């Protein structure tokens, strides 16, 4: 039974500068929730903070998921709880192949206290079969299995590999940080199709899509849209909100927020 991801009054500093200034947001299971906002509004900071990046210091607030305040958990524990972050800028891990990395990640998820890793490990044949199928669906060439993770990959290849990891790990709550950046329209469609397919196969999952542009939301239709401005969520709505933003830009919201507070 999946739960809401509940963010309460979250304040986050990066190098002593406050970036998130009291974020309140609930992401429901079985939903796609978009956060839109201009550059520098704190969207990526929120994504990294949810996953537990050590460079982001939470000064106050809580984030609840599956009955726990996940701010108390290390990143690997958050992952095992079902959280996933698709990175805007995935790093390369030289010398570690895509297959080896993914198998290690999956086996880490399957590991159980008191059981030997061999007992809980995914059978190799089953892993390979699933990996090939998912790669084919994302139009990733077979040769990537043996390539070192993200080393020398193009921007589009990296994003596809992020979605591949997501569909192999099957998170219950996925955060996608600017997954559309750097993608041409064909790659964007493939990535969006991958996300939609995963959501269809795992209808209980929650997806938090962080994006600057409406473009991705033409292919991944959100149930909810929230707007972030200067470290706060300033507006919540349905899919029509993203269309409005596309047409009118962020300035109209900025003005409205400014007027409301003056």
Partner 1 sequence: MPVANPHNTFAPLAELTDEQIVLAARAAGEPDWLIERRIAAWRHFATGVPPIWKRTDLTTFKAEGIVAPAAAQNTAIQWDASLAEQGVIFTTLAAALRSHPDLVKQYLGSAIDPLTHMFTALHAALWQDGVFLYVPKNVAVELPLHAIFTLAAESHAIFPHNLVIVERGANVTFIEEYSSPNINGQALAVPATEIFVGDGAAVRFATTQTWGQGVYHIAAQRVRVGRDGSAELIAANLGGKLQHAEIEVTLEGNGAHVDWVAVTFANDSQSLLTAPLVRHIGTNTESHMNFKTVVDETGYSTFDGMVKIERSAQGTNSRLEEHALHLSPKARSDSIPGLQIDANDVKAGHASTSGQIDEEQLFYMLSRGIKRDEAIHMIVTGFFEPVVERIPLEELRTRLSEAIESKI
DSSP state of 214: S
Write each residue from 89 to 128 as x if it is in contact with partner 1 (CB under 8 A), else as -, in one continuous string: -xx-xxxx---xx--xx--xx-------------------
Beta strands 68-69 and 232-237: pairing type?
A: unpaired
User: 55 or 249: whose CB is closer to partner 1?
Assistant: 55
Angular region, 186: left φ>0, alpha ψ -120 to 50, beta rest: alpha
Specify whether the CB–CB gap between 175 and 208 falls below 8 A.
yes
The binder of partner 1 chosen from 11, 21, 28, 53 (CB under 8 A): 53
Q: How many residues bind partner 1 (CB under 8 A)?
A: 29
Nearest-angstrom CA–CA distance, 122 and 111 = 10
The distance of closest approach from Cβ of residue 93 to partner 1 in the complex, given in angstroms and rounded to an integer, is 6
Go through the chain and tell me how many residues it has: 262
* 152 part of the interface to partner 1, by CB under 8 A: no
**C-alpha pair distances (Å), 214 with each of 10, 152, 199, 218, 223:** 25, 29, 20, 7, 14
Write each residue from 188 to 227 as x if it is in contact with partner 1 (CB under 8 A), else as -, in one continuous string: ----------------------------------------
The distance of closest approach from Cβ of residue 130 to partner 1 in the complex, given in angstroms and rounded to an integer, is 16
Residues engaged in binding partner 1 (CB under 8 A): 51-55, 74-76, 78-80, 84-85, 87, 90-91, 93-96, 100-101, 104-105, 108-109, 148, 165, 169
């Amino acid at each position: 039974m999946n739960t809401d991801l509940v963010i309460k009054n979250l304040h986050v500093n990066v190098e002593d500068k406050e970036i998130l200034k009291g974020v309140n947001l609930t992401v429901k299971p079985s939903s796609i929730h978009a956060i839109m906002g201009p550059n520098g509004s704190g969207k990526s900071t929120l994504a990294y903070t949810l996953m537990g990046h050590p460079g982001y210091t939470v000064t106050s607030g809580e984030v609840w998921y599956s009955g726990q305040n996940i701010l108390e958990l290390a990143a690997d524990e958050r992952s095992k709880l079902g959280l996933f972050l698709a990175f805007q800028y995935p790093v390369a891990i030289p010398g570690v192949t895509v297959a080896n990395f993914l198998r290690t990640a999956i086996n880490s998820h399957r590991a159980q206290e008191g059981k030997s890793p061999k007992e809980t490990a995914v059978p190799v044949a089953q892993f390979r079969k699933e990996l090939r199928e998912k790669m084919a669906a994302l139009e990733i060439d077979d040769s990537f299995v043996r390539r070192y993770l993200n080393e020398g990959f193009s921007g589009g290849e990296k994003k596809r590999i992020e979605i591949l990891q997501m569909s192999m790990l099957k998170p219950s709550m996925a955060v996608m940080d600017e997954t559309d950046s750097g993608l041409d329209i064909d790659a964007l469609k493939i990535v969006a199709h991958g996300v939609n397919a995963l959501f269809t196969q795992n209808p209980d999952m929650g997806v938090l899509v962080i994006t600057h542009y409406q473009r991705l939301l033409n292919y991944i239709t959100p149930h909810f849209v929230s707007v972030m401005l200067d470290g706060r969520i300033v507006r919540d709505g349905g899919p029509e909100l993203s269309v409005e933003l596309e047409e009118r830009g962020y300035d109209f919201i900025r003005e409205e927020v400014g007027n409301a507070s003056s």
